[in-house]
């Protein structure tokens, strides 16, 4: 069975807002923080968490506040913008102060944007804003500033055939904005970047991505044409494998991001039957080769009468199967990217308690996956996704010890 983890959410407060756009821009991040801290959405109840990226018949705003960040728990919205920032090193004390200021600025801007209370007229479309965010800190910053982060937070090792571009990966702060449309993303990304920069962060890289609009319950597809995100953990499994253990990090998780180039034309030229065997599922309906419905668990031990595995030994879902990892699961919420005809692919985004799981899976995939000739990992990042906050709080409250 497939569901995404739900996040207990706080009840809504009435809206309070009213600063002019010029004032917001003039005073920068600190004022943006104040706006967001004071502003609350009117209609911001959590949405049902099933698959499907379309906005549906009656879209509601997505609540920014809650135990966990909505960019992980909410519906997967069809457009994303990732932004990475560095904090130029000065002294540990000064950099901790900068980080506090950047997180306060981002909290203000993002909560205001999600609530639809920012004064920027470009966000006043007459439609409900649908925005969900993920804010995280990278392992290098966490260790440099001795932040209170999960012990598991660490950079990934190098994998066979990695072709990583450092300028498109890593970073001290990672921000993932997800929205119902490209317009909202562009405007909010600009406001968030301005807020972060005003508080001392330096932009490192950005990356945009997208999904097809799909009806509720319908899994979106990647550019190879396969449904992507079918086998994800239910609430119970997510509590064990995605979110932190009880304590300071219980409502945090770790994001592994990989920018994976895909040879879309080359893969499309392969006969469908072979494509299905490479993945271990049928391209049309996403059903595992061993099952009859999309959400059937792929049975990697099932064999044909002649003794051969039904899901071949190099099939992607065999090598990534949780059965090879003691049942450990990651929550995949990937996006497609299109940076021109020669560079299209997948923004692999997976949330997990311990990125060592990614390392184990990727070590199997990088050596045996049938997809190897058609993909290339070109950028990578890891970030501790901070727990959510209550109204009036600031992201990152758990970091300071
Ligand atoms: C461009 C690269 C990739 C493509 C096109 C791709 C595609 C797919 C597809 C079509 C599925 C089956 C449907 C589903 O359950 O979502 C799948 C499953 C999965 N993939 Fe990938 N994937 C890619 C990279 C990765 C990477 C880098 C990892 C982790 C290292 C990974 C881990 C998984 C996992 C854990 C599953 C679910 C296995 C299961 O529980 O049955 N994938 N992927």
Which domain range does residue 119 map to? Answer: 70-401
Report how far ligand 1's centroid is from the alpha carbon of 162 (Å).
Answer: 17
Per the domain annotation, does 44 fall within a domain?
Answer: no
Total tally of structural domains belonging to the chain: 1
Mean pLDDT is lowest, of 47-56, 307-316, 345-354, 375-384, for 47-56
Query: Is there a domain that residue 10 lies in?
Result: no
Share of the chain above pLDDT 70, in %: 86
* 340-357: pLDDT as tens digits: 989 999 999 999 999 999
Stretch 231-246: mean pLDDT, rounded?
Answer: 98
Pocket test for ligand 1, best of 3, 231, 237 (most atoms within 8 A of CB): 231
Whether 12 is in a domain gets the answer no
Q: What is the pLDDT of residues 266-294, one digit of tens each?
A: 999 999 999 999 999 999 999 999 999 99
79 within a domain of the structure (yes/no): yes
Q: Say if residues 328 and 320 touch (Cβ distance below 8 Å).
A: no
Closest CA to ligand 1's atom 25: 348
Residues 109-126 pLDDT 10s: 999 999 999 999 999 999
128 touches ligand 1 (CB under 6 Å): no
Q: Which of 180, 63, 176, 190 is nearest to 115 (CA)?
A: 63
- Centre of ligand 1 to C-alpha 316, Å, is 6
Reading the block at residue 315, the tokens are 């099939």
The answer, yes or no, to whether any atom of ligand 1 lies below 6 A from the CB of 369, is no
- 316 CB less than 6 Å from ligand 1? yes
241 lines ligand 1 (CB under 6 A): no
Residue closest to 84 by CA, chosen among 259, 190, 201: 201
227 lines ligand 1 (CB under 6 A): yes
- Evaluate: CB of 64 within 6 angstroms of ligand 1: no
Residue 355 lies in a domain: yes
Indicate whether residue 346 lines ligand 1 (CB < 6 A).
yes
Q: How far apart are CA 19 and CA 29, in angstroms?
A: 14
**Residue 358, ligand 1, Cβ within 6 A:** yes
279 vs 319: CA distance, rounded Å? 10
Q: Does 218 fall in a domain?
A: yes
| Residue 111 within any structural domain of the chain | yes
Does residue 233 line the site of ligand 1, with CB under 6 A? no
| Long-range pairs for 16-20: beta carbons < 8 A, 24 or more residues apart | 16/40, 17/112, 17/117, 17/119, 18/119, 19/119, 20/119
The residue contributing the CA closest to ligand 1 atom 21 is 316
Ligand 1 atom closest to the CA of 297, numbered from 1: 41
- Residue 315 main-chain phi, psi, to 5 deg: -65, 140
Those residues whose C-beta lies under 8 Å from the C-beta of residue 352, and which sit 6 or more positions away, are 241, 242, 253, 254, 256, 328, 329, 330, 331, 358
Q: Which residue of 51, 228, 257, 267 sits with most ligand 1 atoms within 8 Å of its CB, as the best mutation to test the pocket?
A: 228
Q: Which residue has the tokens 């985004």?
A: 349
pTM of the model: 0.89
Q: What is the pLDDT of residues 21-58, one digit of tens each?
A: 333 333 333 333 333 333 333 233 233 344 666 655 45
Return the ligand 1 atom nearest residue 346 CA. 1
- The pLDDT-based confidence of 234 (bands split at 50, 70, 90) is very high
Distance CA 31, CA 20 (A): 11
Cα 289 to ligand 1 centroid, rounded to whole Å: 15
Ligand 1, atom 6, lies closest to the CA of 228
Ligand 1 centroid–CA 286 distance in Å is 12
Tell me, using a 6 A CB cutoff, whether residue 145 lines ligand 1. no
Q: pLDDT value at position 54?
A: 61
Region 73-90: mean pLDDT is 97
Q: For ligand 1, is residue 228 a contact (CB within 6 Å)?
A: yes
Average pLDDT, the chain: 89
Place 146 in a pLDDT band, splitting at 50, 70 and 90: very high
Report CA Rg, the chain.
21
Q: What is the distance in A from the centroid of ligand 1 to the CA of 58?
A: 31
| Environment class of 92 (CB within 10 Å of its CB; exposed 0-12, middle 13-18, buried 19+) | exposed
* Residue 365 in contact with ligand 1 by CB distance below 6 A: yes
Report the 3 state secondary structure along the chain.
CCCCCCCCCCCCCCCCCCCCHHHHHHHHHHHHHHHHHHCCCCCCCCCCCCCCCCCCCCCCCCCCCCCCCHHHHCCCCCEEEEEEEECCCCCHHHHHHHHHHHHHHHHHHHHHHHHCCCCCHHHCCCCCCCEEEEEEECHHHHHHCCCCCCCCCCCCCCCCCCCCCHHHCCCCEEEEEEECCHHHHHHHHHHHHHHHHHCCCEEEEEEEEECCCCCCCCCCECCCCCECCCCCCCHHHHHHHCCCCCCCCCCCEEEEEEEEEECHHHHHCCCHHHHHHHHCECCCCCCECCCCCCCCCCCCCCECCCCCECCCCCCHHHHCCHHHHCCCCCEECCEEEECCCCCEEEEEEEEECCCHHHHHHHHHHHHHCCCHHHEEEEEEEEEEECCCCCCCCCCCHHHCC
Residue 267 lies in a domain: yes
330 Cα nearest atom in ligand 1: 35
pLDDT above 60: residue 254: yes
């Amino acid at each position: 069975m497939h569901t995404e983890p739900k996040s207990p959410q706080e009840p809504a407060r009435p809206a309070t807002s009213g600063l002019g756009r010029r004032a917001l821009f003039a005073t920068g991040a600190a004022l943006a923080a104040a706006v967001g801290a004071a502003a609350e959405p009117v209609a911001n109840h959590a949405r049902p968490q099933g698959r499907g990226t379309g906005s549906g018949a009656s879209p509601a705003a997505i609540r920014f506040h809650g135990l966990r960040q909505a960019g992980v728990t909410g519906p997967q919205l069809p457009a994303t913008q990732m932004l990475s920032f560095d904090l130029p090193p000065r002294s540990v004390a000064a950099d901790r102060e900068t980080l506090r200021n950047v997180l306060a600025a981002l909290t203000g801007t993002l909560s205001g944007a999600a609530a639809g209370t920012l004064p920027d007229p470009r966000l006043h479309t007459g439609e409900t804003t649908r925005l969900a965010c993920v804010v995280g800190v990278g392992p290098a910053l966490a260790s440099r500033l001795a932040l209170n982060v999960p012990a598991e937070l660490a950079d990934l090792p190098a994998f066979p055939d990695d072709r990583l571009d450092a300028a498109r990966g890593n970073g001290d702060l990672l921000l993932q904005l997800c929205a119902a449309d490209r317009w909202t993303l562009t405007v909010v990304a600009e406001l968030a970047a301005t807020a972060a920069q005003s508080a001392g962060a330096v932009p490192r890289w950005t990356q945009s991505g997208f999904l097809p609009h799909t009806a509720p319950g319908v899994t979106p597809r990647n550019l190879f044409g396969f449904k992507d995100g079918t086998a994800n953990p239910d609430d119970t499994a997510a509590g064990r494998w995605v979110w932190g253990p009880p304590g300071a990090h219980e409502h945090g998780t770790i994001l592994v991001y990989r920018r994976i180039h895909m040879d879309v034309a080359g893969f499309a030229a392969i006969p469908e039957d072979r494509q299905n065997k490479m993945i271990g599922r049928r391209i049309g309906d996403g059903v595992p080769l061993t099952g009859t419905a999309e959400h059937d668990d792929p049975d990697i031990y099932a064999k044909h009468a002649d003794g051969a595995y039904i899901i071949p030994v190099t099939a992607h879902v065999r090598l990534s199967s949780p059965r090879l990892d003691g049942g450990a699961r990651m929550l995949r919420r990937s996006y497609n990217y299109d940076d021109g005809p020669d560079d299209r692919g997948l923004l692999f985004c997976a949330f997990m308690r311990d990125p060592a799981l990614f390392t184990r899976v990727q070590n199997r995939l990088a050596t045996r996956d049938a997809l190897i000739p058609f993909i290339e990992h070109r950028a990578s990042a890891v970030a501790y996704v901070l727990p959510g906050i209550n109204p009036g709080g600031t992201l990152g409250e758990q970091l300071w010890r």
